[in-house]
Structure 1
Protein backbone atom coordinates (compact mmCIF):
# COMPACT_ATOMS: atom_id res chain seq x y z
CA UNK A 1 0.00 0.00 0.00
CA UNK A 2 2.83 2.38 0.85
CA UNK A 3 4.36 1.65 -2.56
CA UNK A 4 1.11 2.53 -4.32
CA UNK A 5 0.80 5.75 -2.37
CA UNK A 6 4.38 6.66 -3.29
CA UNK A 7 3.67 5.96 -6.98
CA UNK A 8 0.51 8.07 -6.86
CA UNK A 9 2.41 10.93 -5.19
CA UNK A 10 5.20 10.69 -7.75
CA UNK A 11 2.68 10.71 -10.59
CA UNK A 12 1.00 13.77 -9.13
CA UNK A 13 4.34 15.57 -8.82
CA UNK A 14 5.20 14.75 -12.43
CA UNK A 15 1.83 16.02 -13.68
CA UNK A 16 2.07 19.26 -11.69
CA UNK A 17 5.62 19.77 -12.98
CA UNK A 18 4.52 19.22 -16.59
CA UNK A 19 1.62 21.64 -16.24
CA UNK A 20 3.89 24.26 -14.65
CA UNK A 21 6.45 23.81 -17.45
CA UNK A 22 3.79 24.11 -20.17
CA UNK A 23 2.38 27.23 -18.48
CA UNK A 24 5.85 28.75 -18.21
CA UNK A 25 6.37 28.09 -21.95
CA UNK A 26 3.17 30.00 -22.70
CA UNK A 27 4.46 33.10 -20.90
CA UNK A 28 8.05 33.29 -22.13
CA UNK A 29 9.11 36.18 -24.33
CA UNK A 30 8.34 35.41 -27.98
CA UNK A 31 11.07 34.08 -30.19
CA UNK A 32 11.96 36.65 -32.85
CA UNK A 33 12.07 35.01 -36.27
CA UNK A 34 13.51 36.95 -39.18
CA UNK A 35 13.22 36.79 -42.93
CA UNK A 36 13.92 38.93 -45.96
CA UNK A 37 11.36 38.76 -48.76
CA UNK A 38 12.25 40.35 -52.07
CA UNK A 39 10.05 41.35 -55.01
CA UNK A 40 11.16 41.88 -58.59
CA UNK A 41 8.45 44.52 -59.04
CA UNK A 42 9.45 46.50 -55.96
CA UNK A 43 8.88 50.24 -56.65
CA UNK A 44 12.02 51.74 -58.14
CA UNK A 45 14.03 53.77 -55.65
CA UNK A 46 11.80 52.88 -52.69
CA UNK A 47 13.42 51.90 -49.41
CA UNK A 48 12.77 48.42 -47.97
CA UNK A 49 10.20 48.27 -45.20
CA UNK A 50 10.81 46.36 -41.97
CA UNK A 51 7.62 44.81 -40.62
CA UNK A 52 6.95 43.25 -37.21
CA UNK A 53 4.14 40.68 -37.37
CA UNK A 54 2.28 39.68 -34.20
CA UNK A 55 -0.87 37.64 -33.78
CA UNK A 56 -3.13 35.96 -31.23
CA UNK A 57 -2.57 38.20 -28.22
CA UNK A 58 -5.55 36.55 -26.48
CA UNK A 59 -5.84 38.84 -23.49
CA UNK A 60 -7.97 37.28 -20.78
CA UNK A 61 -6.31 34.07 -19.63
CA UNK A 62 -3.25 33.17 -17.57
CA UNK A 63 -0.90 33.36 -20.54
CA UNK A 64 -1.45 37.06 -21.24
CA UNK A 65 -1.93 40.18 -19.17
CA UNK A 66 -1.16 43.85 -19.64
CA UNK A 67 2.28 43.49 -18.03
CA UNK A 68 3.35 40.72 -20.39
CA UNK A 69 1.92 42.51 -23.43
CA UNK A 70 3.81 45.63 -22.40
CA UNK A 71 6.99 43.57 -22.21
CA UNK A 72 6.34 42.23 -25.72
CA UNK A 73 5.72 45.76 -27.02
CA UNK A 74 9.06 46.78 -25.55
CA UNK A 75 10.65 43.85 -27.34
CA UNK A 76 9.10 45.04 -30.62
CA UNK A 77 10.24 48.63 -30.08
CA UNK A 78 13.82 47.47 -29.54
CA UNK A 79 13.72 45.75 -32.95
CA UNK A 80 12.95 49.18 -34.50
CA UNK A 81 10.60 48.06 -37.31
CA UNK A 82 9.00 50.59 -39.62
CA UNK A 83 5.55 49.04 -39.32
CA UNK A 84 3.68 46.68 -36.98
CA UNK A 85 0.95 44.33 -38.25
CA UNK A 86 -1.48 42.54 -35.91
CA UNK A 87 -3.20 39.45 -37.32
CA UNK A 88 -6.24 39.18 -35.06
CA UNK A 89 -7.54 37.39 -31.95
CA UNK A 90 -7.02 39.95 -29.20
CA UNK A 91 -9.21 38.18 -26.62
CA UNK A 92 -9.13 34.65 -25.19
CA UNK A 93 -12.16 32.39 -25.15
CA UNK A 94 -15.59 32.86 -26.66
CA UNK A 95 -17.55 34.95 -24.16
CA UNK A 96 -18.56 38.57 -24.61
CA UNK A 97 -18.01 39.20 -20.89
CA UNK A 98 -14.32 38.35 -21.29
CA UNK A 99 -13.92 40.89 -24.08
CA UNK A 100 -15.68 43.61 -22.10
CA UNK A 101 -13.53 42.92 -19.07
CA UNK A 102 -10.15 42.54 -20.78
CA UNK A 103 -10.25 44.56 -24.03
CA UNK A 104 -9.42 47.78 -22.11
CA UNK A 105 -6.19 46.12 -20.99
CA UNK A 106 -5.00 46.14 -24.60
CA UNK A 107 -4.96 49.92 -24.79
CA UNK A 108 -2.01 51.06 -22.70
CA UNK A 109 0.47 48.41 -23.93
CA UNK A 110 -0.44 48.79 -27.62
CA UNK A 111 -0.38 52.57 -27.33
CA UNK A 112 3.28 52.11 -26.38
CA UNK A 113 4.23 50.84 -29.84
CA UNK A 114 6.56 53.43 -31.39
CA UNK A 115 7.10 52.88 -35.10
CA UNK A 116 7.15 55.45 -37.91
CA UNK A 117 4.48 53.80 -40.09
CA UNK A 118 2.09 52.91 -37.28
CA UNK A 119 0.13 49.79 -36.40
CA UNK A 120 -2.31 48.09 -38.79
CA UNK A 121 -4.58 45.21 -37.76
CA UNK A 122 -7.35 42.82 -38.74
CA UNK A 123 -9.90 41.04 -36.57
CA UNK A 124 -9.94 37.31 -35.79
CA UNK A 125 -12.48 34.62 -35.01
CA UNK A 126 -12.28 35.03 -31.22
CA UNK A 127 -12.92 38.74 -31.63
CA UNK A 128 -16.21 38.08 -33.40
CA UNK A 129 -17.05 35.27 -30.97
CA UNK A 130 -16.87 37.69 -28.04
CA UNK A 131 -17.59 41.43 -28.42
CA UNK A 132 -16.06 42.93 -31.58
CA UNK A 133 -17.33 46.44 -30.75
CA UNK A 134 -15.47 46.46 -27.42
CA UNK A 135 -12.30 45.21 -29.11
CA UNK A 136 -12.52 47.81 -31.90
CA UNK A 137 -12.92 50.56 -29.30
CA UNK A 138 -9.82 49.38 -27.50
CA UNK A 139 -7.77 49.17 -30.69
CA UNK A 140 -8.88 52.63 -31.83
CA UNK A 141 -7.95 54.01 -28.41
CA UNK A 142 -4.49 52.45 -28.88
CA UNK A 143 -4.11 54.20 -32.29
CA UNK A 144 -4.37 50.93 -34.19
CA UNK A 145 -5.86 51.07 -37.69
CA UNK A 146 -8.24 48.12 -38.16
CA UNK A 147 -8.88 46.99 -41.74
CA UNK A 148 -12.23 45.41 -42.65
CA UNK A 149 -11.76 44.27 -46.25
CA UNK A 150 -9.86 47.51 -46.82
CA UNK A 151 -6.36 48.62 -47.77
CA UNK A 152 -3.93 51.31 -46.65
CA UNK A 153 -0.56 52.47 -47.94
CA UNK A 154 2.41 52.39 -45.60
CA UNK A 155 5.76 53.35 -47.09
CA UNK A 156 6.28 51.41 -50.31
CA UNK A 157 3.67 48.83 -49.26
CA UNK A 158 -0.06 48.63 -49.69
CA UNK A 159 -1.56 46.54 -46.87
CA UNK A 160 -4.66 44.56 -47.80
CA UNK A 161 -6.61 43.60 -44.68
CA UNK A 162 -9.07 40.75 -45.14
CA UNK A 163 -11.76 40.42 -42.48
CA UNK A 164 -12.34 37.16 -40.61
CA UNK A 165 -13.04 34.26 -42.98
CA UNK A 166 -14.20 31.95 -40.16
CA UNK A 167 -17.26 34.17 -39.68
CA UNK A 168 -17.65 34.63 -43.44
CA UNK A 169 -16.81 38.31 -43.22
CA UNK A 170 -14.03 38.11 -45.81
CA UNK A 171 -14.63 39.93 -49.09
CA UNK A 172 -11.76 39.45 -51.52
CA UNK A 173 -13.26 41.50 -54.42
CA UNK A 174 -13.90 44.49 -52.14
CA UNK A 175 -10.42 44.23 -50.65
CA UNK A 176 -8.78 44.00 -54.06
CA UNK A 177 -10.76 47.00 -55.30
CA UNK A 178 -9.33 48.98 -52.37
CA UNK A 179 -5.82 47.71 -53.21
CA UNK A 180 -6.13 48.85 -56.83
CA UNK A 181 -6.90 52.41 -55.73
CA UNK A 182 -3.58 52.72 -53.91
CA UNK A 183 0.08 52.86 -54.91
CA UNK A 184 2.68 50.55 -53.50
CA UNK A 185 3.46 46.87 -53.61
CA UNK A 186 0.50 44.92 -52.15
CA UNK A 187 0.82 42.41 -49.33
CA UNK A 188 -2.05 40.84 -47.37
CA UNK A 189 -2.81 40.32 -43.72
CA UNK A 190 -5.63 38.13 -42.41
CA UNK A 191 -6.24 36.06 -39.32
CA UNK A 192 -6.46 32.73 -41.16
CA UNK A 193 -4.83 31.84 -44.45
CA UNK A 194 -6.99 33.03 -47.36
CA UNK A 195 -5.73 31.27 -50.47
CA UNK A 196 -7.73 33.51 -52.87
CA UNK A 197 -5.26 36.28 -52.13
CA UNK A 198 -2.53 34.27 -53.78
CA UNK A 199 -4.60 34.26 -56.97
CA UNK A 200 -5.38 37.98 -56.99
CA UNK A 201 -2.07 39.73 -57.57
CA UNK A 202 -0.95 39.49 -53.93
CA UNK A 203 1.88 37.06 -53.49
CA UNK A 204 2.64 37.53 -49.78
CA UNK A 205 0.08 36.76 -47.08
CA UNK A 206 0.75 37.13 -43.33
CA UNK A 207 -1.50 35.20 -40.94
CA UNK A 208 -1.83 33.71 -37.46
CA UNK A 209 -4.62 31.59 -35.93
CA UNK A 210 -2.94 28.18 -35.61
CA UNK A 211 -0.59 28.95 -32.65
CA UNK A 212 1.66 26.41 -34.42
CA UNK A 213 -0.49 23.79 -32.73
CA UNK A 214 0.12 25.28 -29.25
CA UNK A 215 0.60 21.74 -27.90
CA UNK A 216 2.63 19.83 -30.47
CA UNK A 217 3.51 16.24 -29.56
CA UNK A 218 4.85 15.12 -32.93
CA UNK A 219 8.18 13.98 -31.35
CA UNK A 220 6.10 11.45 -29.38
CA UNK A 221 4.34 10.25 -32.51
CA UNK A 222 1.13 12.16 -31.73
CA UNK A 223 -0.02 14.37 -34.59
CA UNK A 224 -1.97 17.53 -33.88
CA UNK A 225 -4.90 17.46 -36.35
CA UNK A 226 -5.41 21.23 -36.09
CA UNK A 227 -1.87 21.87 -37.27
CA UNK A 228 -2.23 19.38 -40.11
CA UNK A 229 -5.42 21.03 -41.36
CA UNK A 230 -3.74 24.41 -41.88
CA UNK A 231 -0.65 25.82 -43.49
CA UNK A 232 2.44 24.76 -41.52
CA UNK A 233 4.08 27.33 -39.32
CA UNK A 234 6.65 29.60 -40.86
CA UNK A 235 7.02 30.33 -44.56
CA UNK A 236 5.27 28.20 -47.18
CA UNK A 237 5.83 28.80 -50.88
CA UNK A 238 3.08 27.69 -53.25
CA UNK A 239 3.64 28.52 -56.90
CA UNK A 240 4.12 32.29 -56.97
CA UNK A 241 2.61 32.78 -53.52
CA UNK A 242 4.13 32.96 -50.04
CA UNK A 243 2.12 32.37 -46.86
CA UNK A 244 3.75 33.16 -43.54
CA UNK A 245 2.09 31.73 -40.41
CA UNK A 246 3.17 33.02 -37.02
CA UNK A 247 2.70 31.07 -33.77
CA UNK A 248 1.32 34.15 -32.06
CA UNK A 249 2.19 35.48 -28.64
CA UNK A 250 -0.75 34.31 -26.51
CA UNK A 251 -2.85 31.18 -26.08
CA UNK A 252 -6.50 30.54 -26.72
CA UNK A 253 -8.31 28.32 -24.20
CA UNK A 254 -5.67 26.70 -22.01
CA UNK A 255 -2.54 28.70 -21.07
CA UNK A 256 -0.11 25.98 -22.12
CA UNK A 257 2.47 25.60 -24.89
CA UNK A 258 4.50 22.49 -25.67
CA UNK A 259 6.99 22.39 -28.58
CA UNK A 260 5.25 25.45 -30.06
CA UNK A 261 6.81 28.52 -28.42
CA UNK A 262 5.31 31.97 -28.89
CA UNK A 263 6.92 33.95 -31.66
CA UNK A 264 6.83 37.16 -33.64
CA UNK A 265 8.36 37.87 -37.02
CA UNK A 266 10.60 40.69 -38.16
CA UNK A 267 10.44 40.88 -41.95
CA UNK A 268 12.44 43.01 -44.32
CA UNK A 269 10.38 43.51 -47.46
CA UNK A 270 12.09 45.10 -50.41
CA UNK A 271 13.59 44.54 -53.86
CA UNK A 272 14.67 41.09 -54.97
CA UNK A 273 18.36 40.43 -54.54
CA UNK A 274 20.46 38.24 -56.77
Structure 2
Protein backbone atom coordinates (compact mmCIF):
# COMPACT_ATOMS: atom_id res chain seq x y z
CA UNK A 1 0.00 0.00 0.00
CA UNK A 2 1.24 3.49 -0.85
CA UNK A 3 1.37 5.70 2.21
CA UNK A 4 0.20 9.29 2.18
CA UNK A 5 3.80 10.48 2.45
CA UNK A 6 4.93 8.27 -0.43
CA UNK A 7 1.98 9.43 -2.53
CA UNK A 8 2.92 13.08 -2.11
CA UNK A 9 6.57 12.29 -2.89
CA UNK A 10 5.48 10.63 -6.13
CA UNK A 11 3.18 13.53 -6.90
CA UNK A 12 5.96 16.04 -6.29
CA UNK A 13 8.37 14.03 -8.40
CA UNK A 14 5.87 13.82 -11.24
CA UNK A 15 5.21 17.56 -11.10
CA UNK A 16 8.94 18.29 -11.10
CA UNK A 17 9.39 15.99 -14.09
CA UNK A 18 6.61 17.71 -16.00
CA UNK A 19 8.07 21.13 -15.26
CA UNK A 20 11.53 19.96 -16.31
CA UNK A 21 10.23 18.51 -19.59
CA UNK A 22 8.16 21.63 -20.20
CA UNK A 23 11.18 23.85 -19.64
CA UNK A 24 13.28 21.73 -21.98
CA UNK A 25 10.63 21.70 -24.72
CA UNK A 26 9.86 25.40 -24.38
CA UNK A 27 13.35 26.82 -23.92
CA UNK A 28 16.29 24.45 -24.26
CA UNK A 29 15.50 22.56 -27.44
CA UNK A 30 13.93 25.35 -29.53
CA UNK A 31 16.29 28.11 -28.37
CA UNK A 32 19.61 26.59 -27.35
CA UNK A 33 20.09 23.55 -29.58
CA UNK A 34 21.15 23.66 -33.22
CA UNK A 35 22.38 20.66 -35.16
CA UNK A 36 24.07 20.25 -38.52
CA UNK A 37 22.56 17.03 -39.82
CA UNK A 38 24.71 15.28 -42.44
CA UNK A 39 23.52 13.20 -45.39
CA UNK A 40 25.70 11.53 -47.99
CA UNK A 41 24.17 9.90 -51.06
CA UNK A 42 24.53 9.38 -54.78
CA UNK A 43 20.95 9.52 -56.08
CA UNK A 44 19.79 8.35 -59.51
CA UNK A 45 20.82 10.50 -62.47
CA UNK A 46 23.67 11.99 -60.47
CA UNK A 47 26.88 11.77 -62.56
CA UNK A 48 29.70 9.63 -61.26
CA UNK A 49 32.48 11.73 -59.79
CA UNK A 50 30.39 14.91 -59.53
CA UNK A 51 30.61 16.30 -56.01
CA UNK A 52 28.24 18.88 -54.56
CA UNK A 53 27.58 20.02 -50.98
CA UNK A 54 24.16 21.52 -50.33
CA UNK A 55 23.44 23.41 -47.12
CA UNK A 56 19.68 23.70 -46.54
CA UNK A 57 17.76 25.85 -44.04
CA UNK A 58 14.01 25.72 -43.52
CA UNK A 59 11.21 27.23 -41.46
CA UNK A 60 12.79 30.17 -39.62
CA UNK A 61 9.36 31.52 -38.55
CA UNK A 62 10.83 34.88 -37.53
CA UNK A 63 9.25 36.36 -34.39
CA UNK A 64 10.08 37.79 -30.98
CA UNK A 65 11.31 36.34 -28.69
CA UNK A 66 11.74 32.89 -30.23
CA UNK A 67 13.42 33.73 -33.56
CA UNK A 68 14.59 37.37 -33.59
CA UNK A 69 16.74 38.82 -36.33
CA UNK A 70 19.96 38.45 -34.35
CA UNK A 71 19.34 34.73 -33.85
CA UNK A 72 18.65 34.33 -37.57
CA UNK A 73 21.93 36.12 -38.30
CA UNK A 74 23.79 33.81 -35.91
CA UNK A 75 22.28 30.71 -37.54
CA UNK A 76 23.26 32.02 -40.98
CA UNK A 77 26.82 32.77 -39.83
CA UNK A 78 27.08 29.18 -38.63
CA UNK A 79 25.65 27.87 -41.91
CA UNK A 80 28.40 29.75 -43.75
CA UNK A 81 31.01 27.63 -41.92
CA UNK A 82 29.57 24.36 -43.25
CA UNK A 83 31.21 24.59 -46.67
CA UNK A 84 28.16 24.56 -48.90
CA UNK A 85 28.69 24.87 -52.64
CA UNK A 86 25.11 26.09 -52.79
CA UNK A 87 22.71 27.17 -50.03
CA UNK A 88 18.98 26.61 -50.32
CA UNK A 89 16.14 28.08 -48.26
CA UNK A 90 13.00 25.98 -48.07
CA UNK A 91 10.36 28.54 -47.05
CA UNK A 92 8.35 29.82 -44.07
CA UNK A 93 10.27 32.89 -42.99
CA UNK A 94 7.10 34.43 -41.53
CA UNK A 95 5.51 33.33 -38.27
CA UNK A 96 1.83 32.75 -37.63
CA UNK A 97 2.18 31.99 -33.91
CA UNK A 98 -0.01 33.84 -31.43
CA UNK A 99 2.37 33.31 -28.48
CA UNK A 100 4.85 36.01 -29.47
CA UNK A 101 5.96 39.33 -28.02
CA UNK A 102 6.58 41.01 -31.36
CA UNK A 103 6.80 40.71 -35.13
CA UNK A 104 10.12 40.74 -36.96
CA UNK A 105 9.56 42.88 -40.10
CA UNK A 106 10.39 41.15 -43.39
CA UNK A 107 13.15 43.67 -44.16
CA UNK A 108 14.89 42.72 -40.89
CA UNK A 109 14.78 38.94 -41.22
CA UNK A 110 15.70 39.18 -44.91
CA UNK A 111 18.71 41.33 -44.01
CA UNK A 112 19.83 38.70 -41.51
CA UNK A 113 19.40 35.91 -44.06
CA UNK A 114 21.42 37.89 -46.62
CA UNK A 115 24.55 37.02 -44.62
CA UNK A 116 24.45 33.60 -46.29
CA UNK A 117 27.12 33.12 -48.95
CA UNK A 118 28.01 30.22 -51.25
CA UNK A 119 29.91 29.79 -54.54
CA UNK A 120 26.74 28.93 -56.50
CA UNK A 121 24.57 31.36 -54.59
CA UNK A 122 21.60 31.27 -52.25
CA UNK A 123 18.33 29.97 -53.71
CA UNK A 124 15.00 30.28 -51.93
CA UNK A 125 11.38 29.27 -52.19
CA UNK A 126 8.47 30.52 -50.07
CA UNK A 127 6.15 28.51 -47.85
CA UNK A 128 2.55 28.49 -46.73
CA UNK A 129 3.06 30.89 -43.80
CA UNK A 130 4.73 33.41 -46.10
CA UNK A 131 1.47 33.39 -48.02
CA UNK A 132 -0.94 33.11 -45.09
CA UNK A 133 0.57 36.03 -43.15
CA UNK A 134 0.38 38.36 -46.17
CA UNK A 135 -3.20 39.63 -46.00
CA UNK A 136 -2.89 41.60 -49.24
CA UNK A 137 -1.60 38.58 -51.14
CA UNK A 138 -4.54 36.55 -49.81
CA UNK A 139 -7.22 39.16 -50.48
CA UNK A 140 -6.02 40.13 -53.97
CA UNK A 141 -4.78 36.66 -54.93
CA UNK A 142 -1.37 38.07 -55.78
CA UNK A 143 1.30 35.93 -57.43
CA UNK A 144 3.97 36.76 -54.87
CA UNK A 145 4.23 37.85 -51.24
CA UNK A 146 6.11 40.38 -49.16
CA UNK A 147 8.53 37.54 -48.36
CA UNK A 148 9.40 37.10 -52.04
CA UNK A 149 10.10 40.81 -52.35
CA UNK A 150 12.10 41.06 -49.11
CA UNK A 151 14.43 38.22 -50.11
CA UNK A 152 14.83 39.50 -53.64
CA UNK A 153 15.68 42.97 -52.34
CA UNK A 154 18.66 41.41 -50.55
CA UNK A 155 19.95 39.78 -53.73
CA UNK A 156 18.67 36.28 -52.99
CA UNK A 157 17.32 34.25 -55.92
CA UNK A 158 13.68 33.42 -55.18
CA UNK A 159 12.16 30.61 -57.21
CA UNK A 160 8.49 30.48 -58.09
CA UNK A 161 7.98 27.56 -60.49
CA UNK A 162 11.36 28.38 -62.01
CA UNK A 163 14.60 26.54 -62.72
CA UNK A 164 18.18 27.72 -63.14
CA UNK A 165 21.28 25.91 -64.34
CA UNK A 166 24.32 26.17 -62.08
CA UNK A 167 27.72 24.55 -61.68
CA UNK A 168 30.54 24.35 -64.19
CA UNK A 169 30.67 23.26 -67.81
CA UNK A 170 32.08 19.94 -66.64
CA UNK A 171 29.69 19.47 -63.72
CA UNK A 172 26.40 21.34 -64.26
CA UNK A 173 23.22 20.89 -62.24
CA UNK A 174 19.77 22.46 -62.02
CA UNK A 175 17.99 24.02 -59.06
CA UNK A 176 14.22 24.00 -59.60
CA UNK A 177 11.91 25.67 -57.09
CA UNK A 178 8.14 25.22 -56.79
CA UNK A 179 5.71 27.84 -55.59
CA UNK A 180 3.81 26.88 -52.48
CA UNK A 181 1.28 24.05 -52.57
CA UNK A 182 -0.94 25.62 -49.88
CA UNK A 183 -0.63 29.27 -50.94
CA UNK A 184 -4.25 30.50 -50.88
CA UNK A 185 -6.59 29.90 -47.97
CA UNK A 186 -9.96 28.96 -49.44
CA UNK A 187 -11.69 27.84 -46.24
CA UNK A 188 -10.94 27.03 -42.64
CA UNK A 189 -9.27 23.74 -43.51
CA UNK A 190 -8.73 24.07 -47.26
CA UNK A 191 -6.05 25.65 -49.41
CA UNK A 192 -5.22 26.09 -53.08
CA UNK A 193 -1.68 25.86 -54.31
CA UNK A 194 0.27 27.79 -56.91
CA UNK A 195 2.78 25.03 -57.61
CA UNK A 196 3.36 24.03 -61.23
CA UNK A 197 5.57 20.96 -61.35
CA UNK A 198 5.12 20.21 -65.10
CA UNK A 199 5.78 23.84 -66.04
CA UNK A 200 8.86 23.97 -63.84
CA UNK A 201 10.29 20.74 -65.24
CA UNK A 202 9.67 21.99 -68.81
CA UNK A 203 12.31 24.67 -68.21
CA UNK A 204 15.03 22.03 -67.85
CA UNK A 205 16.66 21.78 -71.27
CA UNK A 206 19.34 19.11 -70.92
CA UNK A 207 20.27 15.98 -68.98
CA UNK A 208 22.15 17.68 -66.12
CA UNK A 209 20.91 16.47 -62.69
CA UNK A 210 18.00 18.26 -61.01
CA UNK A 211 17.51 19.27 -57.38
CA UNK A 212 13.90 20.23 -56.64
CA UNK A 213 12.90 22.59 -53.82
CA UNK A 214 9.31 22.14 -52.57
CA UNK A 215 8.21 23.56 -49.22
CA UNK A 216 5.64 20.86 -48.46
CA UNK A 217 6.81 17.27 -49.07
CA UNK A 218 3.30 16.24 -50.17
CA UNK A 219 4.28 16.79 -53.82
CA UNK A 220 6.82 13.96 -53.68
CA UNK A 221 4.61 11.15 -55.11
CA UNK A 222 4.21 13.25 -58.27
CA UNK A 223 7.90 14.11 -58.68
CA UNK A 224 9.30 12.44 -61.83
CA UNK A 225 12.31 10.11 -61.82
CA UNK A 226 14.18 12.81 -63.74
CA UNK A 227 14.69 14.66 -60.42
CA UNK A 228 17.73 13.41 -58.51
CA UNK A 229 16.75 14.85 -55.15
CA UNK A 230 13.75 16.69 -53.67
CA UNK A 231 14.26 18.89 -50.61
CA UNK A 232 11.40 19.99 -48.35
CA UNK A 233 10.66 21.53 -44.96
CA UNK A 234 7.25 22.42 -43.50
CA UNK A 235 6.74 19.50 -41.09
CA UNK A 236 9.33 20.52 -38.44
CA UNK A 237 9.96 16.81 -37.97
CA UNK A 238 6.62 16.78 -36.20
CA UNK A 239 7.99 19.49 -33.84
CA UNK A 240 7.07 17.17 -30.98
CA UNK A 241 8.50 13.69 -31.47
CA UNK A 242 7.73 11.34 -28.60
CA UNK A 243 10.11 8.45 -29.25
CA UNK A 244 8.98 8.09 -32.85
CA UNK A 245 5.38 9.16 -32.37
CA UNK A 246 4.58 12.53 -33.94
CA UNK A 247 1.04 13.49 -32.88
CA UNK A 248 0.67 16.49 -35.22
CA UNK A 249 2.02 16.46 -38.78
CA UNK A 250 0.74 19.05 -41.30
CA UNK A 251 0.52 16.66 -44.23
CA UNK A 252 -2.24 14.71 -45.89
CA UNK A 253 0.11 11.72 -45.77
CA UNK A 254 0.39 11.79 -41.98
CA UNK A 255 3.86 10.73 -40.83
CA UNK A 256 4.92 9.28 -44.19
CA UNK A 257 7.12 12.31 -44.96
CA UNK A 258 7.49 13.78 -41.49
CA UNK A 259 11.29 13.82 -41.43
CA UNK A 260 14.54 12.63 -42.93
CA UNK A 261 15.63 10.71 -46.01
CA UNK A 262 12.87 8.89 -47.88
CA UNK A 263 13.31 6.68 -50.95
CA UNK A 264 10.31 5.64 -53.03
CA UNK A 265 10.55 3.96 -56.43
CA UNK A 266 14.18 4.98 -56.65
CA UNK A 267 13.36 8.65 -56.05
CA UNK A 268 14.96 10.52 -53.15
CA UNK A 269 13.45 13.05 -50.72
CA UNK A 270 15.04 14.71 -47.69
CA UNK A 271 12.72 16.55 -45.28
CA UNK A 272 14.29 19.05 -42.90
CA UNK A 273 13.25 19.35 -39.28
CA UNK A 274 13.50 23.12 -39.70
CA UNK A 275 14.65 25.84 -37.33
CA UNK A 276 11.68 27.61 -35.78
CA UNK A 277 8.30 26.77 -34.30
CA UNK A 278 4.73 26.85 -35.55
CA UNK A 279 1.46 26.99 -33.58
CA UNK A 280 3.28 26.76 -30.22
CA UNK A 281 6.85 27.67 -29.23
CA UNK A 282 7.90 24.16 -28.26
CA UNK A 283 10.11 21.48 -29.74
CA UNK A 284 10.71 18.07 -28.21
CA UNK A 285 12.70 15.28 -29.85
CA UNK A 286 13.05 17.42 -32.98
CA UNK A 287 15.82 19.98 -32.41
CA UNK A 288 16.43 22.81 -34.87
CA UNK A 289 18.71 21.72 -37.67
CA UNK A 290 20.61 22.73 -40.78
CA UNK A 291 20.97 20.05 -43.46
CA UNK A 292 24.42 19.35 -44.91
CA UNK A 293 23.98 17.10 -47.95
CA UNK A 294 26.95 15.69 -49.85
CA UNK A 295 26.05 14.36 -53.29
CA UNK A 296 28.30 12.16 -55.36
Normalised by the size of structure 2, how large is the TM-score?
Answer: 0.78
Q: Could you tell me which residue of structure 1 aligns to residue 274 of structure 2?
A: 248
Say if 2:210 is the partner of 1:186.
Answer: yes
- What SS does the aligned partner of 2:150 have? helix
Q: Contact between 1:247 and 1:262, CA under 8 Å: does it hold in 2?
A: yes
- What SS does the aligned partner of 1:265 have? strand
| Equivalences, count | 264
- What SS does the aligned partner of 1:27 have? helix
Say if 2:65 is the partner of 1:62.
Answer: yes
- What SS does the aligned partner of 1:159 have? strand
Which ranges in structure 2 are unaligned for 5 or more consecutive residues?
Answer: 135-143, 184-192
Alignment partner of 2:239 out of 214, 219, 224:
214
The correspondence of residues 151-230 of structure 1 with structure 2, limited to 5 A, is: 151-155=163-167, 156-167=172-183, 168-179=193-204, 181=205, 184-193=208-217, 194-199=219-224, 201-218=226-243, 223-226=246-249, 228-230=254-256
- Counterpart CA distance in 1 for 2:106 and 2:10 is 44
In the TM superposition, residue 100 of structure 1 has moved relative to its aligned partner by 7.5
Q: Could you tell me which residue of structure 1 aligns to residue 119 of structure 2?
A: 116
- What SS does the aligned partner of 1:226 have? coil
Q: Contact between 2:240 and 2:284, CA under 8 Å: does it hold in 1?
A: yes
- Aligned CA-pair RMSD: 3.0
Q: Contact between 1:99 and 1:134, CA under 8 Å: does it hold in 2?
A: no
- Counterpart CA distance in 1 for 2:178 and 2:231 is 11
In the TM superposition, residue 153 of structure 1 has moved relative to its aligned partner by 1.6
Q: Contact between 1:77 and 1:114, CA under 8 Å: does it hold in 2?
A: yes
The correspondence of residues 136-147 of structure 1 with structure 2, limited to 5 A, is: 136-147=148-159
Q: Contact between 1:233 and 1:246, CA under 8 Å: does it hold in 2?
A: yes
Q: Contact between 1:153 and 1:183, CA under 8 Å: does it hold in 2?
A: no
In the TM superposition, residue 201 of structure 1 has moved relative to its aligned partner by 1.5
Deviations along 1:61-102, one digit per CA (max 9) or x if unpaired, are 43211111111111111112111001110011079xx99853
- What SS does the aligned partner of 1:209 have? coil
- Counterpart CA distance in 2 for 1:15 and 1:148 is 44
Which piece of structure 1 moves more, 230-239 or 256-265? 230-239
Q: Could you tell me which residue of structure 2 aligns to residue 21 of structure 1?
A: 24
- What SS does the aligned partner of 1:174 have? helix
Tell me: CA distance 1:101–1:70, structure 2 relative to 1, closer, same or farther (3 Å): closer
- Counterpart CA distance in 1 for 2:257 and 2:104 is 32
Q: Could you tell me which residue of structure 1 aligns to residue 283 of structure 2?
A: 257
Deviations along 1:108-160, one digit per CA (max 9) or x if unpaired, are 22121121111101110101101263212221122211111110122122011
Deviations along 1:176-210, one digit per CA (max 9) or x if unpaired, are 1112x366311101101112553251131000011
- What SS does the aligned partner of 1:204 have? strand
Normalised by the size of structure 1, how large is the TM-score?
Answer: 0.84
Q: Contact between 1:85 and 1:121, CA under 8 Å: does it hold in 2?
A: yes
In the TM superposition, residue 234 of structure 1 has moved relative to its aligned partner by 0.9
- Counterpart CA distance in 1 for 2:103 and 2:64 is 14
Q: Contact between 1:61 and 1:255, CA under 8 Å: does it hold in 2?
A: no
- Counterpart CA distance in 2 for 1:102 and 1:19 is 29
